[in-house]
Amino acid sequence: MTNAHFKSGFACLVGRPNAGKSTLTNALVGQKVAITSGRPQTTRHTVRGIITREDAQLILIDTPGLHRPRTLLGERLNTLVSDTLAEVDVIVFCLPADQRIGPGDRYIAAQLAGVTGGRRGPRVVAVATKSDLVAPERLAEHLIEISELGSWEQIVPVSATGGYQVDHLADVLVKELPEGPMLYPEGELTDEPEAVMVAELVREAALEGVRDELPHSLAVVVEEMGLRDGRDESHRLVDIHAIIYVERPSQKAIIIGKSGSRLRSVGTKARVEIERLLGDRVYLDLHVKVAKDWQRDPKQLAKLGF
């Protein structure tokens, strides 16, 4: 039911790598849509989560971490981020309470000041994420440091994993939205093409427990995805063929593991998540390929969807 003063609009989550953006997106939406991981910079795609309430629809855009570009991929991600930022209605700046404000946060604050400088630009709500990880005194200190970092519409401490103040944050964000119609049908949580989400789930599974330098060197492409022929409605099976691209043969060996054992467990883990996403049984076929220096090669980047 849509009331007369229904509001709708877009919010964008920014913050340094590992700030808790994906986890917060999931908590706000209430279902797993974005990709979380203990490793920095795993969010390659702009994933939207959609919150539909009686009074408003808020579309969340979970961006890759704003960061100083080191490679071509980094540059493209940053352009994507600032283009996205200028167009949203409200920006959520995530600052993890378990870490001190640092140069990365100041860099983002400066970028935000550039985007939101004019009167018409989006407002920024600063969020102290992971507030469950610190004592009240440290949280208070963090909130003061945040207030000194820039000018914010509000500062809200939350814990995405504990559910603390997540609903309150949603209220604060909805307040910033203009009146407008529902933009997506009710029940829709994300408009990412399924293949992209499937690729992200494979990527997440492949990254689990591997060395620090690997995340940046790993991309996943779903080559084929379709219902298997000749099955009746109650026994549907989705065939998925995906390729995990790494930069070096040594990384390929890490992903595959001893006699393929690691790749098998990556496949099993990803399959479970994909089945949950699609609601169908899945046959997942994974291959690992070396695409040398893909992060620096425009042709390879285009092929990998960047």
Residues that bind ligand GTP (CB under 6 A): 15, 17-23, 36-38, 40-43, 65, 129-130, 132-133, 159-161
Q: How far is the CB of 36 from ligand GTP (least distance, A)?
A: 4
Q: Which is nearer to ligand GTP, 62 or 263 (CB)?
A: 62
Q: How far is the CB of 32 from ligand GTP (least distance, A)?
A: 11
Task: Write out the two tokens for 11.
Answer: 């919010």
Look at the block and give the residue holding tokens 């992903």. 255
Yes or no: say if 242 and 220 are a contact pair by the CB < 8 Å rule. Answer: yes
Torsion angles phi and psi, residue 183, rounded to 5: -95, -20
Q: How far is the CB of 21 from ligand GTP (least distance, A)?
A: 4
Q: How far is the CB of 302 from ligand GTP (least distance, A)?
A: 22
Residue 66 assigned to a binding site = yes
Q: For residue 7, give the H/E element and its range.
A: strand 7-14
| Residue 154 to residue 243: CA distance in whole angstroms | 43
Residue 44 assigned to a binding site = no
User: Could you give the maximum distance between any two Cα atoms of the chain, in Å?
Assistant: 63
Residue 132 assigned to a binding site = yes
Q: Which is nearer to ligand GTP, 101 or 182 (CB)?
A: 101
Torsional sign, CA 151, 153, 158, 161: negative
Residue 65 assigned to a binding site = yes
Q: Which is nearer to ligand GTP, 9 or 157 (CB)?
A: 157
What would the 3-class secondary structure string for 230-260 be? CCCHHHCEEEEEEEEEECCHHHHHHHHCHHH
Q: Which is nearer to ligand GTP, 21 or 48 (CB)?
A: 21
Residue 302 assigned to a binding site = no
Which residues are annotated as part of the binding site for GTP? 15-22, 62-66, 129-132
Q: Which residues are annotated as a binding site?
A: 15-22, 62-66, 129-132
